[in-house]
Amino acid sequence: MARTSAKTTFLRGLRDSLPFLLVVGPFAMLFGVVGTEAGLNIAEVMGFTVLVIAGAAQFTAVTLMQEDAPTLVILATALAVNLRMAMYSAALLPYLGPAKLWQRALVAYVLVDQSYAMSQMEYDTRPEAPIGEKLAYFAGTMVLMAPLWYAMTYLGAVLGAAIPEAFALDFALPITFLALIAPALKTLAHIVAAVVSVVLALSLAWVPLSLGLLIAAGCAMAAGVATEIAMERRT
């Protein structure tokens, strides 16, 4: 019975991930194109996408590489962009903490915006589910998405400039994050953090080496925390 339940949960995670495949594919292909245009060969592009598997950080790093930014700045900026993964991990810890070490390691590797958003909603809805079902759902969200990310990155790297501009692959980046962020803005703290990050990121776009992103990210997190603390004191 438990095995059947885990299978059902896995299939539900797979089903929930299907809409995201429509944007993950073009997103990955775009990185393959951008990576080769930045001077990386196919092996380097694929090594980058397999090891990092974090689109926003990958695009940020490649953009800074094209600007000949210092290695330290590239690493710091990419890390700042990916700091949200630490918050994702902390949010999932109450649900996946009892899992075995190797299972948590696999979850950490394929923890991306989409898998987090889907899993968080699932766990909030069914917090009493056994750990096996929770892991099964998470696995279902990535069983197609991760291979698609690798395959489409490779395709983009191989085709490169041969992809017509009319395809406008860059649409996938903003659509993906809008689809993920909008439903997550559930509290005033979330909204404040989002507004501060948008305003500062746009206002500081002139700062060289994309350092404005670091400033915007830090200020947004601080604003969100301050808002949450103020709300807790008021209640």
* Whether residue 1 has pLDDT greater than 50: no
**Contact at 8 Å (CB) between 107 and 96?**
yes
Least confident interval from 88-92, 143-147, 199-203, 210-214: 210-214
Sorted by where each begins, the domain ranges of the chain are 2-182, 185-235
For 155-187, write each residue's pLDDT tens digit: 989 887 566 655 555 555 666 666 556 656 777
Rounded to whole angstroms, the Cα distance separating 151 from 1 reads 35
pLDDT band at residue 12 using 50, 70 and 90 as cut-offs? very high
Pairwise pLDDT comparison (83 vs 106), residue with the higher score: 106
Residues 53-100: pLDDT tens digits?
887 888 888 888 888 888 888 888 888 778 778 888 988 999 999 999
HSE at residue 97, side-chain half, CA atoms within 13 A, is 7
Name the burial class of residue 218, with classes exposed (0-12), middle (13-18) and buried (19+) by CB atoms within 10 angstroms of its CB: middle
In this predicted structure, what is the pLDDT of residue 168?
A: 52
Q: Which of 25-34, 76-85, 132-141, 196-205 has the lowest mean pLDDT?
A: 76-85
Mean pLDDT, rounded, for 15-20 = 93
CA distance 75 to 82: 11
pLDDT the model gives residue 153: 93
Residue 183 is predicted with a pLDDT of 59
Find where tokens 């909603």 sit.
121
Closest CA to 69 of 42, 41, 38, 27: 38
| pLDDT confidence of residue 69 | 83
In this prediction the pTM is 0.74
